[in-house]
């Protein structure tokens, strides 16, 4: 009887050792092929941040030649749907997870996703070069969107279903008022918003400033030859109008400012963690600054300058 008990105990220990060794082997193998320096990861990114994230990926892959980050640009709503799939480990969007969403991932994966604010973005208002209206009170925009304003002006967004720009405007500007479907509509992405506005002086476009706010980007400079970036009533005591320039984003003087977050469901030091750490690092934050957004992890100094005319 004693011998049999000892034998069974030995088998159990052996089984445990085999499982542990397999787990260690799998972990080591995963670390070999998926870490900050190597591997392949699919991420979903809000389309409004394509110019910025393209730059971040380009630099990261140059620093880590064995790493490949495949970004798909789509509406924010689609990004959150992708996060529910096992194939997508990271999304870059304009809001963190809700408490309910966090609990969902905790129950599904037994850990909370990593959430980090990496930047501040703004929604730019654009009009045709032929338009005579280049400054707007927030009330003016609201009356155009809800249909109470006279005239022929209409608004165009970078999408309808799941657009983060449209969602922001509905929540922050319109509050409980619905948009008039005869005065506001969506198209397929930010570039199409710019194209539509360029050819119609009655259109007002709403897009992420990441697409049009960088004067050092040749493509964005070509966009600025086609449309105006308009000034909006300032979030400040002075009666003035401001554009979505970097300093106005940092100081929140520009009214339509929002955060940029990455959400990562990875509980080991994989490529997703490596890229997330890069976005938070000095180099990643400098890319954000050079893209004329406001870094969220890096101090930003504003200096007063006197221009000689």
pTM: 0.85
Q: Give the residue-averaged pLDDT of 220-230.
A: 90
Cβ neighbours of residue 283 under 8 Å, at least 6 residues apart? 59
**45: helix, strand or coil:** strand
DSSP string, 74-104: E-HHHHHHHHTSTT--EEEESS---HHHHHH
Instruction: Tell me the pLDDT tens digit for each residue of 139-196.
Output: 999 999 999 998 899 999 998 888 999 999 999 999 979 999 999 999 999 999 999 9
Q: What is the pLDDT of residue 301?
A: 63
Q: What is the pLDDT of residue 160?
A: 82
Q: What is the pLDDT of residue 220?
A: 85
Answer yes or no: is pLDDT of 32 > 80: no
Lowest-confidence segment of 24-28, 39-43, 54-58, 245-249 by average pLDDT: 24-28
Q: Give the residue-averaged pLDDT of 35-57.
A: 96
**62: helix, strand or coil:** helix
Q: Does domain 34-120+259-295 have CATH number 3.30.2020.30?
A: no
Answer yes or no: is pLDDT of 306 > 70: no
- The fraction of the chain above a pLDDT of 70, given in percent, is 86
* CA triple 15-19-23, angle to 5 deg: 170
Answer yes or no: is pLDDT of 309 > 90: no
Q: Give the residue-averaged pLDDT of 1-17.
A: 38
Q: What is the pLDDT of residue 62?
A: 98
Rounded Cα gap, residues 279 and 60, in angstroms:
9
Lowest-confidence segment of 133-142, 183-192, 296-305 by average pLDDT: 296-305
Q: What is the pLDDT of residue 302?
A: 60
Answer yes or no: is pLDDT of 214 > 90: no
Q: Which of 129, 137, 294, 282 is nearest to 213 (CA)?
A: 294
Average pLDDT in the chain: 88
Q: What is the pLDDT of residue 219?
A: 85
Lowest-confidence segment of 1-10, 66-75, 113-122 by average pLDDT: 1-10
Asked if 34-120+259-295 and 122-257 have one fold, the answer is yes
Superfamily of domain 122-257: Periplasmic binding protein-like II (3.40.190.10)
Q: Give the residue-averaged pLDDT of 48-76.
A: 97
Give me the residue spans of the domains in the chain.
Answer: 34-120+259-295, 122-257
Cβ neighbours of residue 31 under 8 Å, at least 6 residues apart? 268, 269
Q: In the structure, what pLDDT confidence band is assigned to residue 217 with cuts at 50, 70 and 90? A: confident
Q: What is the pLDDT of residue 307?
A: 54
Q: Give the residue-averaged pLDDT of 214-228.
A: 87
Q: Of 133 and 11, which is predicted with more confidence?
A: 133
Q: In the structure, what pLDDT confidence band is assigned to residue 5 with cuts at 50, 70 and 90? A: very low
Q: What is the pLDDT of residue 276?
A: 98
DSSP string, 255-266: S-EEEEEEEE--
Answer yes or no: is pLDDT of 275 > 50: yes
Answer yes or no: is pLDDT of 9 > 70: no
Rounded Cα gap, residues 18 and 39, in angstroms:
27
């Amino acid at each position: 009887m004693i011998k049999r008990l000892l034998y069974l105990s030995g088998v159990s220990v052996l089984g445990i050792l085999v499982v542990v060794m397999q787990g260690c082997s799998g972990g080591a193998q995963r670390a070999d092929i998926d870490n900050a320096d190597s591997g392949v990861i699919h991420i979903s990114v809000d389309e409004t941040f394509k110019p910025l994230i393209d730059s971040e990926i380009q630099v990261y892959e140059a620093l880590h030649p064995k790493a490949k980050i495949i970004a798909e640009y789509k509406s924010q709503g689609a990004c959150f749907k992708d996060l529910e799939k096992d194939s997508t480990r990271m999304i870059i969007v304009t809001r963190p997870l809700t408490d309910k969403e966090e609990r969902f991932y905790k129950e599904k994966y037994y850990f909370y996703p990593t959430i980090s604010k990496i930047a501040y973005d703004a929604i730019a208002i654009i009009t045709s070069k032929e338009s005579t209206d280049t400054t707007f009170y927030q009330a003016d925009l609201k009356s155009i969107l809800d249909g109470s304003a006279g005239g022929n002006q209409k608004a165009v967004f970078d999408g309808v279903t799941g657009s983060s720009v449209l969602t922001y405007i509905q929540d922050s500007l319109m509050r409980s008022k619905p948009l008039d479907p005869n005065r506001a509509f969506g198209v397929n992405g930010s570039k199409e918003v710019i194209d539509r506005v360029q050819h119609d002086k009655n259109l007002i476009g709403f897009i992420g400033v990441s697409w049009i706010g960088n004067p050092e980007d040749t493509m964005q400079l070509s966009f600025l030859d086609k449309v105006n970036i308009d000034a909006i009533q300032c979030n400040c005591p002075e009666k003035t109008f401001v554009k979505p320039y970097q300093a106005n984003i940092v100081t929140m003087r520009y009214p339509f400012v929002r955060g940029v977050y990455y959400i990562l469901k990875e509980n080991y030091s994989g490529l997703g963690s490596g890229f997330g750490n890069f976005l938070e690092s000095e180099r990643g934050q400098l890319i954000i600054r050079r893209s004329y957004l406001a870094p969220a992890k890096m101090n930003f100094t504003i200096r007063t300058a006197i221009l000689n005319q």
